[in-house]
């Protein structure tokens, strides 16, 4: 079995992590290479997912502030339009006594 370190498509990253530059459709030399490549891709996906979660955690406080600001503005608009609804209710109450 060919070791990854001996393969021409293997490179060591600056932090010591392995980098596989092989193409699974063209340059795979042994069946074990495909399994290793798939395992490596899973770790890449897991790291990407963790980076996404970290970004969401950093954005969470800003998102909370935006929601509070939007709720405040919606409440202000509702308060400003309340006089319209009060007049409509007064008119509806007055019509019921005319019958």
Q: How many CA atoms lie within 13 A of 10 on its CB side?
A: 15
DSSP assignments along 51-80, one per residue: HHHHHHHHHHHHHHHHHHHHHHHHHHHHHH
* pTM, entire model: 0.55
Residue 85: how many CB atoms within 10 A of its CB? 10
pLDDT in tens, 9-27: 888 888 888 888 888 888 8
pLDDT in tens, 36-56: 888 888 988 999 999 999 999
């Amino acid at each position: 079995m060919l070791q990854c370190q001996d393969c021409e498509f293997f490179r060591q990253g600056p932090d010591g992590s392995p980098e596989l530059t092989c193409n699974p459709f063209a340059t795979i030399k042994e069946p074990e290479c495909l399994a290793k490549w798939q395992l490596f891709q899973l770790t890449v996906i897991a790291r990407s997912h963790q980076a996404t979660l970290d970004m969401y955690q950093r954005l969470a406080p800003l998102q909370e502030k935006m929601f509070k600001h939007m709720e405040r503005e919606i409440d202000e608009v509702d308060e400003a339009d309340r006089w319209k609804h009060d007049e409509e209710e007064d008119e509806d109450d007055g019509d019921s006594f005319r019958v």
